[in-house]
Amino acid sequence: MRVLLTGGSGFIGSHIALLLLERGFDVLILDSFVNSSTNVINRIKSYLNNKDLKYKLETINCDIRDKKLLDKVFNDSIKEKKPIDIVIHLAGLKSVSESLINPLHYWDVNVIGTLNLLLTMKEYECYSLVFSSSATIYGLSDSVPMTEDQKISPINPYGKTKVAIENMFSDLYHSSMNLWKICSLRYFNPVGAHPSGVIGEDPIGIPNNLFPFLTQVAIGRRKHLQIFGDDWETKDGSGIRDYIHIIDLAEGHLSSIDYLNSNDSCLEFINLGSGIGYSVFQIISQFELSTGCKIPYSIQRRRDGDVPICYADISKAKKLLDWSPMRSLEQICLDGWNWQMKNPKGYS
């Protein structure tokens, strides 16, 4: 089975790629490398070579907004008698703060990019899609854990682009029943790294998320961790989030493929998280305990666009996808730290 994996060189995409290849899928990674390194692909290949695994992997440097090139990708695949069976779409921009500064860029890349992809998939009659949505779409929810059917009210442009894309899926699905198979996976906070340490999270510039910031402080690349607000209405004043091991998240995509393959037509919105909320201070304590590193930190004012508390109800994923997260917070800390120790400067 051939999978087109957009954004496959990024943090989440690279882990999905590795799992797909290990399980015998034919993978075509499409990425513009605007937020990732081409070294990722070499790492994946050398990991598989070292394990003596036969695999089918191709890469194309393409911006998802380039309709002509997208057409060519689908067309060539048909000509070469290996048509794309399913698309896993991760290519996009993901920084809440950046989206507040440059919202049009986010609408362009995320929404126009996805529209292009859907138009091309329709033209080439490829109707199966797994999409990377986000818990950000729930915004300031009055109840936790978050269930898929609760109010959608994003409070930043990034989240709004994900909602627009989900709305596009709904219109498309309802306009042509029995054709499209779509799983829109609402990720919470994917963290950690592949246990081998060959791939992991390597954000360009100052990390926007807690975990890479934490590991970069631990390795000495940054002086101290910035905590955005210790005056939230939570038990210790810091924000509460749901952290899911990147391999658990990646496995959720394989389960989604199985689900799409065993259903005629569907559109499902599904939370992928651990189902547990941890505060920033709890994360620091666990990381210090698991790794023996001391994490100096400073308290900053709250960031615009952040919410106090956000964690998932994952019963739908468990039931529909027959999937459950298997890895603990301790495992997340150990694997994330292993990656950072083996790659103090990331991929560079």
Give the residue numbers annotated as catalytic, written as ranges.
158
Beta carbons of 343 and 196 less than 8 angstroms apart: no
**Cβ–Cβ < 8 Å for 31, 1:** no
Structural contact between residues 324 and 318, judged by C-beta atoms closer than 8 angstroms: yes
Residue nearer to ligand NAD on the CB measure, 91 or 163:
91
What the block records as the tokens of 142 is: 């009055």
Give the Cα separation of 61 and 69 in Å (integer).
10
| Nearer to ligand NAD (CB atom), residue 63 or residue 265 | 63
Contact with ligand NAD (CB under 6 A) among 189, 255, 274, 343: 189
Check binding of 31 to ligand NAD (CB under 6 A). yes
Q: Is residue 109 a contact residue for ligand NAD (CB under 6 A)?
A: yes
Write the binding mask 45 to 64 for ligand NAD: x where contact by CB under 6 A, - elsewhere. Answer: ------------------xx
Out of 4, 29, 36, 117, the only residue in the binding site for ligand NAD (CB under 6 A) is: 36
Among the candidate windows 92-100, 167-175, 218-226, 230-238, which touches ligand NAD by CB under 6 A? 92-100
Closer to ligand NAD by Cβ: residue 4 or 64: 64
> Should residue 10 be labelled a site residue for ligand NAD when binding is judged by CB under 6 A?
yes
CB of 90 to ligand NAD, least distance (A): 4
Options 3, 5, 91, 309; binder of ligand NAD; rule CB under 6 A: 91
Q: For residue 306, what are its two tokens? A: 């952040």
What 3-state class would DSSP assign to 177?
Answer: coil
By CB under 6 A, is residue 94 in contact with ligand NAD?
yes
If we measure between CA atoms, which residue out of 66, 74, 65 comes closest to residue 28?
74
For residue 65, state whether it binds ligand NAD (rule: CB under 6 A): yes
Of 18, 90, 214, 217, which one interacts with ligand NAD (CB under 6 A)? 90
Residue from 157, 190, 192, 325 that binds ligand NAD (CB under 6 A)? 190
Residues 138-177 as x/- pattern, contact with ligand NAD by CB under 6 A: ----------------------------------------
Residue 92 per-residue DSSP state: S
User: 3-state class of 31 per DSSP?
Assistant: strand
CA 347 to chain centre: 19
**DSSP letters along 183-250, please?**
EEEEE-EEE---TTSSS----SSS-SSHHHHHHHHHTTSSS-EEEE-S-SSSSSSS-EE-EEEHHHHH
Binders of ligand NAD among residues 217 to 256 (CB under 6 A) are none
For residue 330, give every residue at least 6 positions away whose Cβ sits within 8 Å of its Cβ, in sequence order, or none. 286, 289, 290
Residue (172 or 191) nearer to ligand NAD, CB:
191
State which residue, 132 or 279, has the beta carbon closest to ligand NAD: 132
Using rule CB under 6 A, residue 34 touches ligand NAD: yes
What helix, strand, coil percent values describe the chain, rounded to 5? 40, 20, 40
Binding region for ligand NAD (CB under 6 A) out of 9-17, 80-88, 230-238, 310-318: 9-17
On the CB side of 246, CA atoms within 13 Å amount to 28
Q: Which residue has the tokens 């905590």?
A: 227
For ligand NAD, the binding residues (CB under 6 A) are: 7, 9-13, 31-36, 63-65, 90-94, 109, 113, 132, 134, 187, 189-190, 209
